Amino acid sequence: MTPEVWAAVYRRDRRCVRCGGEGWHVHHRKLRSQGGQDDLVNCVLMCRACHDTVHSRRAEIGEPGGFIVPSWADPCEIPVDYHKIGPILLTQLEQK
């Protein structure tokens, strides 16, 4: 991931998109192992606890909230259950 993409994700999210806590982990919604890209519609900022939970729950029950996008889906079309906003397409969020 380029420093420019990381900085853009941080400017947009500022905090963990799942819980609102301090987030320093960039999470790929469509996993890199499944073709996920390093771009603004595929990446969100998460705290370590939420990042770990999202990945562990995915294995157990599937992660709701748009935090994990299936390999066949386009992250542009899957809303994220954004903390204090609710489900929203990341393309709808304005850059701050």
Encode pLDDT of 38-84 as tens digits.
999 999 999 999 999 888 866 554 567 889 888 898 999 999 999 88
pLDDT digits (tens, 9 = 90+) for 3-14: 999 999 999 999
What are the residue ranges spanned by the domains of the chain? 3-92
Provide the pLDDT for residue 96.
Answer: 44
Q: Which residues are 56's β-sheet partners?
A: none
DSSP 8-state assignment for residue 76: G
- pLDDT of the residue at 79: 92
Q: Which residues lie closer than 8 Å to 82 by C-beta, 6 or more apart?
A: 17, 88, 93
Give the residue-averaged pLDDT of 6-26.
Answer: 92
Is residue 11 a contact partner of residue 4, using CB atoms and an 8 Å limit? no
State the pTM of this model. 0.86
Do 64 and 79 form a contact (C-beta atoms < 8 A)? no
